[in-house]
Amino acid sequence: MIGATMSAHPTTTTVESPVGPLTLTKRDGLLSSLYMQHQRHAPTRSPECRRDDKGFDEVTEQLDAYFAGALTEFDLPMTMAGTDFQRRVWAALREIPYGETISYGELARWVERPKASRAVGLANGRNPIGIIVPCHRVIGADGSLTGYGGGLERKVWLLEHEARHSGPAPLTLALQAEPA
């Protein structure tokens, strides 16, 4: 059809990382997901999705730099499918400084919904671009690690990694049981 905009098939690749394999997906040239192996809320792969290991160089370079402790803020073209509220929460996550944490209640205040910490937690759990959109930096009001779609062990690893590379005081985190 002349003049019609044809959306390219989404592409995907899997890369190795210190927290295990990461599955990356792009849609229309924009990063649309980063999921860890066995992650809760990971989407089922679309049958139209095609493997393309060559289309992710910029993403993998920045992830490599992050895991080496040399990158504290990602700068990648992304698209995130979700509700308006979810996208507000995900945008706010990107404002949490590297090596720091905030509570779900504080994040709720950041998105101007101070009584919506549970809804913020649900949106946080549905973040489609883990690590790069740092949902791992959100913790319970009492400082507990109250769950992570990629698993609490990975959340601990990511927070300790950032603490090692962000300042003089090492962060020690206690792993707590995930809610059922």
| Token output for 96 | 């949490």
The number of C-alpha atoms within 13 Å of 3 and in the hemisphere containing its C-beta is 0
Unique residue bearing structure tokens 């990694």: 161
Residue 49 bears catalytic tag: no
> What are the strands, taking DSSP E only, across 2-97?
11-15, 22-27, 30-36, 50-51
Selected catalytic residue, list 24, 93, 135, 159: 135
Of the candidates 49, 45, 53, 56, the residue with the CA atom closest to the CA atom of residue 8 = 49
- Residue type at 15? V
- Between β-strands 138-139 and 102-103, what pairing exists: parallel, antiparallel or unpaired? parallel
With a CB cutoff of 8 Å and minimum separation 6, the contacts of 57 are none
Residues facing residue 22 across a β-bridge = 15, 36
Sign (positive or negative) of CA dihedral 122, 104, 84, 135? negative
State the catalytic residues. Answer: 135
